[in-house]
Structure 1
């Protein structure tokens, strides 16, 4: 059996001969040296450094270093060009307007929303973005050292992607555990491989999560690893933002009506960016992401839905023709990756929109979709499977937010009537009481093997090692326990909407005490990450005697209290406690509390 041998020219430049590269013998500079910006040594006489000894080895090392240095300079030049291009306003090209069912121009709206989108990250990475498997794109004029370095970088990115899938995503969405009959979570891997903006944002989250966890490891050690993770966070965030801006520009050029797949990818990327802002407790951009995603989601449904009673479902069906029965609602089904991703992103967006409305003093922007997605005996989505809250609780929180917005609108117009408010609130309260009564008759569905249940003290002793096995350590509250906490928090929210911030009101005192008792039943302090809004609502109404409980609960999370909105929630309630003496019930409510830090807090 013969072995193929790479033939090199004996008349090529001495640079290529030394580097053992094939030379095309182009003069005065061969293409290899031109591409890598190296000195091309063409001469009949053999250079004196080609002595087969130490000088030749030294020169080979110098060329190797030159390849690295020039590659860095090329990439920085390209990065600067990318930054300049991304800084340009997103414009809408002249084109025939596609038919639309409403007057809202989503293209112009998105251009406005993201035209001045601030880029937090201001660093300068030493390479251009490498998406997994992008090395197969056909570029063959790189050196072996470049290829090796790019391969190493791609390997690191793939490793970070798996950290995101194995640890970060389960930490952010612990209730989401789709069964095999629903095709599992494979769609997440597909999405990471195909959506560049989402991929980089996920890697940034993975880097941040790792950096947070490592902060609790051996003080004074692993400093290089910690610094690398912080650097990687900034770099990947910048790459994700720029990739999303380019994707949005392409959607703007074509129009949402002509690009379902691209529009959905942009939606997924924006929702992921929203996840990032909440995870890193950034208070500046989350509303930009939420508004942009809501506008885009509405236009996707508006322009791509078939005429009928289930517009969202018709868009879902169109993503995989033949894979979905027309009359199939929620339930076990082997979803295509695009469908599973769309379902998850829709549920996440709907939920974020509802919680945001409690702070923004407005009805949820996507409330028009609640009837199809959340209501009825067979809704399109069961939020309990995605965020751990049953649909009826989610819908009632949405209705209370809408009631709060109605009350403030009536007061502003001078048409407010307290009798109307009480009547509207009593209807919601009756439904809440009915749901709570039903929950009280159902036991908390703890796992059967409770022997290894962790107390707060035991978890604090274990530290971050408890992350290594979510199921074994039961770091997710049961669905019934979660529902009870959320229902009691909704009751507090409703009473504050009606009567203002009155911590001493007997009904509010009873609900706060009940929530505290339910929090004590949590299997682990890490469960608090799924209960941020109830924690904040109850905490803002806590008495001085109850303050230590809320403080100890967040402290028991250790370093992970800063990953997500838990720390933000505690800052909110702490500031409310400081202003307790001046919280007039006529002017203070839950929305006021969520703005007490000088910005609007999204506590999901």
Structure 2
């Protein structure tokens, strides 16, 4: 009689089980295709062959599994809707939680602002639909489909905002340099709520923003502020009822009439008084305190969708700053959030006002970065779904071509054409957004051409970092995408890293050659801000962060390497030169702090510096992108400082994904 085969062979077979970790987590058979297995490719999942950080932790595995289930549900829903409706191939992004947490999983009661979605068979579905009785807005499924028609374009790499339409004043030149012609009504005034609480009035002698703009900025001869460096009115016709920017304001200099409900007037006041200063701090310095009237006010007066976006953001800021309890303000947040989408849907349905749609959509992305708590669990559309719509609109408006045609202002300043503001803002979000997702920027080819031609895109004037450094961050993101997709050998990867490192060196050499080695203090003895010095220090900070980001792609990267620690110490020395606190610019450097903090070690100088800067922000250090960045780094440090879970590398994106955080940290 033949003996039975030993059972150990089965056990051995199980122990030697292979396949991607995503399929193993789902307990599905994997065909081990490279760079993506068939199942992950079909379902749009991240295909992991290297042991991910979430694999070694039971709780993180559970969260990862739930996140995968949600992605699969969305993919299957999109496929089903595509079979039901001719519009449904472009089904809308869900109003989903961008940062789910354990304390916000329950639905609101009958009077709450959300309810569970309808079934898949309904043709379209929001993960959380808004009750019409709460929002006061009809829920039109076809219109919502139209919105997403601009957000599903496929690109080679899988992966606010305001054209003022009233600028028709003539250009003025001083010594052959074009100079902005400001509306005189707001050069030295600011808004102040009147005693009746209804609307806004101008208080002569008041100043706006955290700095006294009459002394905070230098003279027009001192830097790039000589130029009308951004075209806020690019491509927008002037309304027949408005001939100049000044026409938006009355002869007394009061606020232009913005039609809002009486119940929303206080939200508008709060947005203008407390929120706008958080959105464009660098641009406002370069515009000598006039960012609000050049960018925000004209859009509020002419773009209803943009207005609802601003009111929603104002309500969110009131909630996150604990000025109004959440049970009273949540409905205002959701009412205006949904009204924004409804207005976008209507405009897309009519295939009109594309620039205004772009303006509002960029606002929904950017403004969210300035306010809100990382644990807020109200349903919202992820920023990258909005950006898919932005990508489609930008292409439809042919804005990349307009940017390609812009030359450097260092050539002939008289012939310099400022870049479109909407495209500059898109580039800012696109480049850093790509690093959030681990994919190449949507318009990477445009930035590459601009880098080769040393072209100007207005990024330095908008957010502080030299354009050439921003183009190189785009290139690093492209390199990371190739690495993730296993398109490069380790040798080729290292060659590309060396090449990009030399390009980063060149940007530093160019600035030193143009302006010298010495950089004056950002804050002058009289308390004013030297814009040129601020830009150079911010560019240096982004350059160090770009080097760290690039080094993290090298096989075998370890945050404990001496070179990494030296880079972090140099970064700290640079950041010390930039004003801190609520009146400073740390919130404009969130990406820099993220990259540096992700490779910092326990007890390091960088961590101590980062924590000290956060304390100087006070309550504002818990909100917006800064608060989200600090929450993410706290989780990174918890894992990397534990010898049992540390990987020695830069794993912040995996941790963000494992926790379901859709953060845009800029």
TM-score (normalizing by structure 2): 0.55
CA RMSD of aligned residues (A): 4.3
Pair 1:91–1:504, CA change in 2 (3 A): closer
Which consecutive unaligned segments of at least 5 residues does structure 2 have?
A: 1-129, 155-198, 201-240, 242-256
Which consecutive unaligned segments of at least 5 residues does structure 1 have?
A: 1-75, 93-105, 114-130, 137-149, 216-222, 252-258, 315-325, 453-470
The offset of 1:229, in angstroms, is 6.0
The offset of 1:421, in angstroms, is 0.8
- Does the alignment pair 1:172 with 2:279? yes
C-alpha distance after superposition, 1:270-296 (max 9, x if no partner): 111112332325685111111221122
- Does the alignment pair 1:509 with 2:542? no
Larger radius of gyration: 1
Q: Could you tell me which residue of structure 2 aligns to residue 85 of structure 1?
A: 139
Q: Could you tell me which residue of structure 1 aligns to residue 459 of structure 2?
A: 383
Q: Could you tell me which residue of structure 1 aligns to residue 212 of structure 2?
A: none
Q: Could you tell me which residue of structure 2 aligns to residue 446 of structure 1?
A: 521
SS at match of 2:603: helix
Pair 1:598–1:235, CA change in 2 (3 A): closer
CA contact (8 A) 2:150 2:388 kept: no
CA contact (8 A) 1:475 1:524 kept: no
Q: Could you tell me which residue of structure 2 aligns to residue 584 of structure 1?
A: 647
Deviates more, 1:288-297 or 1:533-542: 288-297
Pair 1:362–1:91, CA change in 2 (3 A): closer
- Structure 1 CA distance, aligned partners of 2:314 and 2:613? 25
Pair 1:373–1:192, CA change in 2 (3 A): farther
- Does the alignment pair 1:358 with 2:435? yes
Q: Could you tell me which residue of structure 2 aligns to residue 468 of structure 1?
A: none
Q: Aligned match of 2:355 in 253, 259, 264?
A: 264
- Structure 2 CA distance, aligned partners of 1:249 and 1:350? 26
Quick check: which one's helix share is greater?
1
Pair 1:108–1:240, CA change in 2 (3 A): closer
The offset of 1:570, in angstroms, is 1.0
Written as runs of structure 1 = structure 2, the 5 A alignment for 1:157-196 is 160-161=267-268, 163-165=270-272, 167-177=274-284, 179=287, 185-196=293-304
Q: Aligned match of 1:277 in 360, 368, 373?
A: 368
- Structure 1 CA distance, aligned partners of 2:346 and 2:152? 12
Q: Could you tell me which residue of structure 2 aligns to residue 405 of structure 1?
A: 481
The offset of 1:168, in angstroms, is 2.5
Deviates more, 1:566-575 or 1:281-290: 281-290
- Does the alignment pair 1:288 with 2:385? yes
TM-score (normalizing by structure 1): 0.60
Q: Could you tell me which residue of structure 1 aligns to residue 309 of structure 2?
A: 201
SS at match of 1:499: coil
The offset of 1:600, in angstroms, is 4.1
SS at match of 2:432: helix
SS at match of 2:140: helix
SS at match of 1:599: coil
Count of equivalent residues: 419
**Greater relative CO (CA pairs within 8 A, separation 6+):** 2
Written as runs of structure 1 = structure 2, the 5 A alignment for 1:75-474 is 83-88=137-142, 90=144, 108-110=149-151, 154=261, 160-161=267-268, 163-165=270-272, 167-177=274-284, 179=287, 185-212=293-320, 215=323, 232-251=332-351, 259=352, 262-278=353-369, 279-280=371-372, 281=374, 285-301=382-398, 311-312=401-402, 343-371=420-448, 376-379=453-456, 381-410=457-486, 416-437=488-509, 442-447=517-522, 449-450=524-525
- Structure 2 CA distance, aligned partners of 1:203 and 1:81? 14
Q: Could you tell me which residue of structure 2 aligns to residue 17 of structure 1?
A: none
- Structure 2 CA distance, aligned partners of 1:525 and 1:570? 15
The offset of 1:594, in angstroms, is 4.5
